[in-house]
A and B are shown apart, each in its own frame.
Chain A
Amino acid sequence: GQQVMQIPQYQHVQEGEDFTTYCNSSTTLSNIQWYKQRPGGHPVFLIQLVKSGEVKKQKRLTFQFGEAKKNSSLHITATQTTDVGTYFCAGRPPNTNAGKSTFGDGTTLTVKP
């Protein structure tokens, strides 16, 4: 079945440093979504990417979808303590319905003030 791998599993940074998490799928994806989960909270939708090579920005966050639509990345510039949490990607293969997205195991980010 489809596998979605995320690296790294954990990342510890000093406040102000940049952070990147990578998501790699074993199969081509129709779309990829990114979610953030604060400690003790529930996942919250950040963004969805659909097009090959797509790049989207949300303030200090930059999301990319690979040309082959098999990988994606989330980059945070100048991390802040409010960025703490676990970031998940979720990808759906083509020709499958909305229920068939697979989540990666997430990257947990801690930020030292």
Chain B
Amino acid sequence: DAGITQSPRYKITETGRQVTLMCHQTWSHSYMFWYRQDLGHGLRLIYYSAAADITDKGEVPDGYVVSRSKTENFPLTLESATRSQTSVYFCASSGRTNEKLFFGSGTQLSVL
């Protein structure tokens, strides 16, 4: 849906570099999420946020940092990228009472 946008769409970086993936939603949804999707696997939760300034770890948080200073933005930072972080990253959002997830179009990240 156009209401949640991710950038960049594609990113190539080198091991050890810091990279930030952006996520912006226009619905004022309370919850925002970051997932990674690897070939042959489902979606694994990295971090989520229930509201501005409230974040919590998901299933695979190591090597990632998030912040949420504004409700509409939820950037994901890889502080020192590793090859194992090569993946497709999806941002998602949902309202407080309706748990339906709206996903962004994804960022395909390659770490060389």
Contact = CB atoms under 8 A, between A and B. Distances in A.
> Is chain B found bound to chain A in the same assembly?
yes
Interface of A: 1, 6, 9, 31, 33, 35, 41-45, 48, 88, 90, 92, 97-99, 101-106
Interface of B: 31, 33, 35, 40-45, 48, 50, 56, 58-59, 90, 92, 94, 96, 99-106
A96 to B, nearest CB: 11
Contact of A42 (B50, B56, B99, B106): B106
Contacts, number: 57
Contacts of B40: 9, 105
A1 B101 CA distance: 22
24 contacts: A1-B59, A6-B42, A33-B99, A33-B101, A42-B105, A43-B90, A43-B92, A43-B101, A44-B103, A45-B101, A48-B99, A90-B101, A97-B50, A98-B31, A98-B94, A98-B96, A98-B99, A99-B45, A99-B48, A99-B50, A99-B58, A101-B99, A104-B42, A105-B42
